[in-house]
Amino acid sequence: MTSRPIATTRSVMEVPTGRLAMWWVLASEIVIFGGLLGSYVMMRLRHGAWADQAANTNTWTGAFNTLVLLTSSLSAVLAHQAAERADGPKAARLLRFTILGGGVFLMVKAFEWTREIQEGFTITSGLFWSFYYTAAGLHAAHVIAGMVIMFIVSLTAARNEELHRVENVGLYWHFVDVVWIFLFPLLYIAK
Protein backbone atom coordinates (compact mmCIF):
# COMPACT_ATOMS: atom_id res chain seq x y z
CA MET A 1 0.00 0.00 0.00
CA THR A 2 1.34 3.39 -0.95
CA SER A 3 1.46 6.17 1.59
CA ARG A 4 -1.90 7.75 2.32
CA PRO A 5 -2.51 11.45 2.85
CA ILE A 6 -2.92 12.50 6.45
CA ALA A 7 -6.35 13.79 5.42
CA THR A 8 -7.57 10.21 4.96
CA THR A 9 -6.64 9.28 8.50
CA ARG A 10 -8.48 12.20 10.11
CA SER A 11 -11.90 11.59 11.56
CA VAL A 12 -13.43 14.84 12.77
CA MET A 13 -16.98 13.46 12.66
CA GLU A 14 -15.80 10.36 14.54
CA VAL A 15 -17.03 8.18 11.70
CA PRO A 16 -14.35 6.34 9.70
CA THR A 17 -13.81 8.15 6.39
CA GLY A 18 -14.49 5.08 4.26
CA ARG A 19 -17.83 4.40 5.90
CA LEU A 20 -18.84 8.06 5.67
CA ALA A 21 -18.06 8.06 1.95
CA MET A 22 -20.00 4.82 1.45
CA TRP A 23 -23.09 6.40 2.98
CA TRP A 24 -22.83 9.31 0.55
CA VAL A 25 -22.44 6.88 -2.36
CA LEU A 26 -25.55 5.06 -1.20
CA ALA A 27 -27.44 8.33 -0.81
CA SER A 28 -26.79 9.16 -4.44
CA GLU A 29 -27.67 5.61 -5.51
CA ILE A 30 -30.97 5.79 -3.67
CA VAL A 31 -32.11 8.74 -5.77
CA ILE A 32 -31.13 6.95 -9.00
CA PHE A 33 -33.33 3.95 -8.18
CA GLY A 34 -35.85 6.30 -6.57
CA GLY A 35 -36.24 8.20 -9.83
CA LEU A 36 -36.65 5.03 -11.86
CA LEU A 37 -39.06 3.29 -9.51
CA GLY A 38 -40.95 6.52 -8.85
CA SER A 39 -41.51 6.91 -12.60
CA TYR A 40 -42.63 3.27 -12.80
CA VAL A 41 -45.09 3.55 -9.93
CA MET A 42 -46.58 6.82 -11.21
CA MET A 43 -47.15 5.37 -14.66
CA ARG A 44 -48.33 1.99 -13.40
CA LEU A 45 -51.03 3.72 -11.34
CA ARG A 46 -52.30 5.37 -14.50
CA HIS A 47 -52.22 2.20 -16.64
CA GLY A 48 -54.23 -0.62 -15.11
CA ALA A 49 -53.71 -2.63 -18.27
CA TRP A 50 -50.07 -3.24 -17.39
CA ALA A 51 -51.30 -5.93 -15.00
CA ASP A 52 -51.88 -8.18 -18.03
CA GLN A 53 -48.22 -7.89 -18.97
CA ALA A 54 -47.09 -8.26 -15.35
CA ALA A 55 -49.08 -11.50 -15.05
CA ASN A 56 -46.40 -13.19 -17.15
CA THR A 57 -43.56 -12.77 -14.66
CA ASN A 58 -42.65 -15.81 -12.60
CA THR A 59 -43.25 -14.98 -8.93
CA TRP A 60 -41.53 -18.16 -7.70
CA THR A 61 -38.31 -17.38 -9.54
CA GLY A 62 -38.37 -13.90 -8.06
CA ALA A 63 -39.02 -15.30 -4.58
CA PHE A 64 -36.15 -17.77 -4.90
CA ASN A 65 -33.82 -14.96 -5.96
CA THR A 66 -34.97 -12.87 -2.98
CA LEU A 67 -34.00 -15.75 -0.72
CA VAL A 68 -30.61 -16.11 -2.41
CA LEU A 69 -29.80 -12.41 -2.06
CA LEU A 70 -30.89 -12.24 1.58
CA THR A 71 -28.75 -15.27 2.39
CA SER A 72 -25.76 -13.70 0.68
CA SER A 73 -26.27 -10.62 2.84
CA LEU A 74 -26.09 -12.84 5.92
CA SER A 75 -22.62 -14.01 4.97
CA ALA A 76 -21.64 -10.39 4.35
CA VAL A 77 -22.68 -9.60 7.93
CA LEU A 78 -20.72 -12.58 9.22
CA ALA A 79 -17.71 -11.40 7.21
CA HIS A 80 -17.97 -8.01 8.92
CA GLN A 81 -18.09 -9.77 12.27
CA ALA A 82 -14.97 -11.77 11.41
CA ALA A 83 -13.23 -8.58 10.28
CA GLU A 84 -14.09 -6.94 13.62
CA ARG A 85 -12.32 -9.85 15.32
CA ALA A 86 -9.36 -9.21 12.99
CA ASP A 87 -9.83 -12.62 11.39
CA GLY A 88 -9.07 -11.58 7.82
CA PRO A 89 -8.92 -15.01 6.16
CA LYS A 90 -12.33 -15.95 7.56
CA ALA A 91 -13.80 -12.63 6.42
CA ALA A 92 -12.40 -13.30 2.95
CA ARG A 93 -13.97 -16.79 2.84
CA LEU A 94 -17.34 -15.40 3.87
CA LEU A 95 -17.13 -12.60 1.31
CA ARG A 96 -16.48 -15.17 -1.39
CA PHE A 97 -19.56 -17.04 -0.22
CA THR A 98 -21.50 -13.78 -0.72
CA ILE A 99 -20.01 -13.50 -4.22
CA LEU A 100 -21.26 -17.02 -4.87
CA GLY A 101 -24.75 -15.89 -3.82
CA GLY A 102 -24.54 -13.03 -6.29
CA GLY A 103 -23.49 -15.51 -8.97
CA VAL A 104 -26.47 -17.78 -8.28
CA PHE A 105 -28.77 -14.76 -8.40
CA LEU A 106 -27.43 -13.74 -11.81
CA MET A 107 -27.67 -17.28 -13.18
CA VAL A 108 -31.30 -17.60 -12.14
CA LYS A 109 -31.91 -14.22 -13.73
CA ALA A 110 -30.23 -15.33 -16.95
CA PHE A 111 -32.45 -18.43 -17.23
CA GLU A 112 -35.51 -16.38 -16.35
CA TRP A 113 -34.81 -13.73 -18.98
CA THR A 114 -33.94 -16.33 -21.63
CA ARG A 115 -37.28 -18.03 -21.12
CA GLU A 116 -39.18 -14.73 -21.19
CA ILE A 117 -37.44 -13.53 -24.31
CA GLN A 118 -38.13 -16.89 -25.99
CA GLU A 119 -41.78 -16.46 -25.11
CA GLY A 120 -41.67 -13.11 -26.90
CA PHE A 121 -41.55 -10.72 -23.93
CA THR A 122 -38.70 -8.40 -24.86
CA ILE A 123 -37.84 -4.90 -23.70
CA THR A 124 -40.00 -3.45 -26.50
CA SER A 125 -43.05 -5.69 -25.87
CA GLY A 126 -44.79 -3.05 -23.81
CA LEU A 127 -43.98 -0.38 -21.27
CA PHE A 128 -44.21 -2.78 -18.32
CA TRP A 129 -41.54 -4.97 -19.92
CA SER A 130 -39.42 -1.89 -20.66
CA PHE A 131 -39.46 -1.00 -16.97
CA TYR A 132 -39.00 -4.65 -15.99
CA TYR A 133 -35.80 -5.09 -17.99
CA THR A 134 -34.49 -1.59 -17.25
CA ALA A 135 -34.97 -1.74 -13.47
CA ALA A 136 -33.83 -5.35 -13.07
CA GLY A 137 -30.96 -4.70 -15.49
CA LEU A 138 -29.76 -1.65 -13.58
CA HIS A 139 -30.00 -3.70 -10.39
CA ALA A 140 -28.08 -6.59 -11.98
CA ALA A 141 -25.34 -4.16 -13.02
CA HIS A 142 -25.05 -3.19 -9.35
CA VAL A 143 -24.89 -6.86 -8.36
CA ILE A 144 -22.03 -7.42 -10.81
CA ALA A 145 -20.20 -4.30 -9.59
CA GLY A 146 -20.66 -5.45 -5.98
CA MET A 147 -19.25 -8.88 -6.79
CA VAL A 148 -16.15 -7.37 -8.45
CA ILE A 149 -15.51 -4.97 -5.56
CA MET A 150 -16.10 -7.71 -3.02
CA PHE A 151 -13.57 -9.95 -4.77
CA ILE A 152 -10.95 -7.20 -4.62
CA VAL A 153 -11.71 -6.58 -0.94
CA SER A 154 -11.49 -10.30 -0.20
CA LEU A 155 -7.97 -10.39 -1.67
CA THR A 156 -6.66 -7.75 0.77
CA ALA A 157 -8.75 -9.09 3.65
CA ALA A 158 -7.20 -12.55 3.20
CA ARG A 159 -3.83 -10.93 3.95
CA ASN A 160 -5.37 -9.25 7.02
CA GLU A 161 -5.06 -5.83 5.36
CA GLU A 162 -7.66 -3.06 4.99
CA LEU A 163 -10.20 -4.95 7.08
CA HIS A 164 -12.40 -1.84 7.41
CA ARG A 165 -13.28 -2.29 3.76
CA VAL A 166 -15.17 -5.47 4.61
CA GLU A 167 -17.79 -3.46 6.43
CA ASN A 168 -18.06 -0.84 3.69
CA VAL A 169 -18.53 -3.34 0.88
CA GLY A 170 -21.07 -5.08 3.10
CA LEU A 171 -23.03 -1.82 3.39
CA TYR A 172 -23.08 -1.59 -0.37
CA TRP A 173 -24.28 -5.18 -0.68
CA HIS A 174 -27.11 -4.58 1.77
CA PHE A 175 -28.16 -1.63 -0.36
CA VAL A 176 -28.27 -3.85 -3.46
CA ASP A 177 -30.37 -6.21 -1.39
CA VAL A 178 -32.78 -3.49 -0.30
CA VAL A 179 -33.27 -2.34 -3.89
CA TRP A 180 -34.28 -5.90 -4.78
CA ILE A 181 -36.70 -5.93 -1.85
CA PHE A 182 -38.46 -3.05 -3.62
CA LEU A 183 -38.18 -4.55 -7.09
CA PHE A 184 -39.59 -7.94 -6.16
CA PRO A 185 -43.07 -6.79 -5.09
CA LEU A 186 -43.23 -4.05 -7.73
CA LEU A 187 -42.30 -6.29 -10.65
CA TYR A 188 -43.44 -9.76 -9.56
CA ILE A 189 -46.13 -9.62 -6.87
CA ALA A 190 -48.21 -6.70 -8.19
CA LYS A 191 -50.14 -8.49 -10.93
Partner 1 sequence: MSGHAAQPAHHDEGFVKTYLWSTDHKVIAMQYLFTGMLMALIGGFTAYVFRMQLAFPGQSVPLFGRVSAGQYNSLVTMHGTIMIFWVAMPVLLAAFGNFLIPLMLGCDDMVFPKVNRLSYQIFLLSAVVLVASFAVPGGAFGGAWTAYPPLSAKAAYNLTRYGSTLWVVAVALEFVAFLLGGVNFVTTAMNARAPGMRMFDVPIVIWMIVIASILFMASVGPLIAGAVMLVFDQVLGTGFYDPGTGGDPILWQHLFWFFGHPEVYVVLLPAMGIVAEVIAVFSRKKLFGYRTIVHTAVATGVISFFVWAHHQFVAGIDPRMASLFTVTTLIISVPIAEMVFVYIATLYGGSITLATPMLWALSFVAEFLIGGVTGIFLGAAGSDIYLHDTYFVLAHFHYTFFPIAIIGAFTGITFWFPKMFGRMMDERLGKIHFWGTIIAFNVIFIPLFITGAAGEHRRIFDHSGFPDLATPGLQHLRTTATMGLVCLLAFQPVFFFNFVRSMVRGPIAGANPWRANTLEWLAPSPPPHGNFAELPEVYRGPYEYSTEDREEDFWPQHLPDDLSPATSVGGHQ
Residues of this chain that bind partner 1 (CB under 8 A): 5-8, 10-13, 15, 17, 20-21, 24-25, 27-36, 38-39, 42-43, 47, 123-124, 126-127, 130, 134, 138
CB of 38 to partner 1, least distance (A): 7
Closest of 133, 111, 115, 136 to residue 124, by C-alpha:
133
CB-count exposure of residue 41 (10 Å: 0-12, 13-18, 19+) = middle
Q: Which is nearer to partner 1, 46 or 60 (CB)?
A: 46
CB of 73 to partner 1, least distance (A): 23
CB of 51 to partner 1, least distance (A): 13
The DSSP result for 3-55, as a single string, is PPPHHHH--TTSS-HHHHHHHHHHHHHHHHHHHHHHHHHHHHHH-TTHHHHHT
Q: Which is nearer to partner 1, 20 or 63 (CB)?
A: 20
Q: Which is nearer to partner 1, 17 or 160 (CB)?
A: 17
In angstroms and rounded to an integer, the radius of gyration of the C-alpha atoms of the chain is: 19
Q: Which is nearer to partner 1, 39 or 114 (CB)?
A: 39
| 3-state DSSP assignment of residue 124 | coil
CB of 104 to partner 1, least distance (A): 26
